[in-house]
Amino acid sequence: MILLLKLVLAPGLVVASSLAGRRWGAQVTGTLVALPIVAGPILLITCLQHGAAFGARAAGAALLGLVTLALFTVVFARCSRTTGWAGSLAAAWAACLAGDFALAGLALPPVLGLGVVLAAVVAALRMLPAVPPAGPADGAPAWPWWDLPGRAAATAALVVAVTAASGALGPGLTGVLAPFPIATSVVAAFVLAQSGSDQAVRTLRGVAHGLVGFAVFCFGVAVLVEPAGTAGAFGVALAATLGVQLGLRAGLSRWRMRTT
């Protein structure tokens, strides 16, 4: 069952978010891949295997992992202006992993960790390169037949690699590595290679917005898993995440309508 989650769940979300992006735009894709579809199962498995106390610490540490995920969006977006997908991905991964290992030993209360993440999201949105509004010309390229299978296979390979490496690292490093940008890496690299830097930046802007809901999920698990149990904590955290994402999306849509 755990292996099935690794091989099916995250790749399925990448395919679904890619199809949504073709229909509704790159920023929607970014928002969808920022959902805790990889970190959620990792934290769930952690709670089931090691207990609620271990899982609570891992979820609290995962909040710091979201800070480095915000860093990933900025580094990849800026590198995409001058390098291809491989160079952009290498630079962004290096920055993300350096941040993860630097933050792994830092223990913050979940409330403070949530505040740090929200500050990092604001900073990332300010530092992302500006792009013109998406227009009809930015729409549908001729997608090769291997595009969606390739995205799914790349995601599955990365999920297996990261989870295998993080299992014996303790709650701090396991938690910080849980939000490692697996689906985001795959989607951003494919978008940059096939549609160019502007579309990649739009996708990553959606990821940055999506980190707000992701942070709510990690915070909910961190504070609820011990008093409410695994099922209750994950149910409430997931519901809160979806509510925050939908509310944020509606608020951004209304703001754009007033400013155009």
Q: Phi/psi at 84 (nearest 5 deg)?
A: -80, -170
How far apart, in Å, are the Cα atoms of 141 and each of 5, 223, 257?
A: 31, 45, 27
Token duo for residue 73 = 């969006």
pLDDT digits (tens, 9 = 90+) for 130-152: 887 665 544 445 556 666 777 67
Looking at residues 5-30, what average pLDDT do you find? 69
**Stated pTM of the model:** 0.79
Report residue 28's pLDDT band, with 50, 70 and 90 as the boundaries.
low
Count Cβ neighbours within 10 Å for each residue of 20-47 and write b for 16 or more, e otherwise: ebbeebbbbbbbbbbbbbbbbbbbbbbb
Can you give the pLDDT at residue 121? 93
| pLDDT given for residue 141 in this prediction | 52
Residue 157 CA to residue 162 CA, distance in Å, equals: 9
Q: What total number of domains does the chain contain?
A: 1
Give the pLDDT band (50/70/90) at residue 31.
low
Cβ–Cβ under 8 Å, residues 120 and 67: yes
CA distances from 134 to 26, 41, 124, 200, 256 (A): 9, 34, 20, 12, 13
Assigned domain for 137 exists: no
- Count Cβ atoms below 10 Å from residue 175 Cβ, excluding itself: 33
Residue 236 counted as domain residue: yes
With respect to residue 140, please indicate whether it lies within any of the assigned structural domains.
no
Could you give the CA distance from residue 53 to residue 35 in angstroms, rounded to a whole number?
A: 24
Least Cα distance to 63 among 179, 156, 186, 143 occurs for 179
Q: How far, rounded to the nearest angstrom, does the alpha carbon of residue 9 sit from its chain's CA centroid?
A: 14
Residue 26 lies in a domain: yes
Region of 51 please: left (phi>0), alpha (psi -120 to 50) or beta.
Answer: left
Query: pLDDT digit string (tens) for 210-256?
Result: 888 889 999 999 999 999 988 899 999 988 888 887 777 667 667 66
Other CB atoms within a 10 A radius of the CB of residue 83 amount to: 16
Measured CA to CA in angstroms, residue 127 lies from 134, 148, 149, 186, 232 at distances of 19, 30, 32, 22, 37
Name the residue range of residue 63's domain: 2-130+145-259
- Looking at residue 143, the DSSP 8-state letter turns out to be -
Amino acid 137: pLDDT:
46
Q: Can you tell me the mean pLDDT for 117-130?
A: 93
Please compute the mean of the pLDDT values over residues 83-94 and round it to a whole number.
Answer: 94
Return d(Cα 209, Cα 193) in angstroms, integer. 23
